[in-house]
Amino acid sequence: MYNYSDFFVALQKYANENKLIDLYYDSAKKGATFPYGVISDPVGSKLRYGTLVYFDINIWSKDPETGLTLEKKLENLINKLDGLIFKEQNAVIHFETQKDVDDPEFELIKKKITFSVRIF
């Protein structure tokens, strides 16, 4: 398994400092304020030069942060992260896909945004 921890720490810091969305790795803290994102499922591949990692950000929300307000927040998140260069981590991030996720176990709204990052 590859070590991506420096990149994910920098990503969380960037999202939180720029007030894009509260972002956590693997699970949110207790009492987290909606909406928030959770980074999950990183899958890395070693390349000739560097590593390519795909990962999801699961967005959790509930009323009143739904509908157009949530979509604008997600659009801003995608626009700010797509093509962003993390110089200290020698990484560049790209948006891949966005989709709704139905989960009858939860009464929350969940969206899944997939990104890729190339770490040199």
pLDDT of residue 14: 97
For residues 91 and 33, give the distance between their C-alpha atoms in angstroms, rounded to a whole number: 29
Instruction: Give the CATH number of the domain where residue 64 resides.
Output: 3.30.2000.30
pTM of the complete model: 0.88
Cis peptide preceding 35, ω within 30 of 0: yes
How many domains does one find in the chain? 1
pLDDT of residue 91: 96
Rg (CA), the chain: 14
| Tens place of pLDDT per residue across the chain (120 aa) | 467 889 999 999 999 999 999 999 999 999 898 899 999 989 999 999 999 999 999 998 886 556 778 889 899 999 999 999 999 999 999 999 998 876 666 667 788 999 999 999
Give the distance between the most distant pair of CA atoms in the chain: 47
pLDDT of residue 1: 45
For residues 43 and 119, give the distance between their C-alpha atoms in angstroms, rounded to a whole number: 13
Residue 110: domain span: 5-119
Strands of the chain (E only): list them.
22-25, 36-47, 50-61, 85-86, 91-101, 109-119
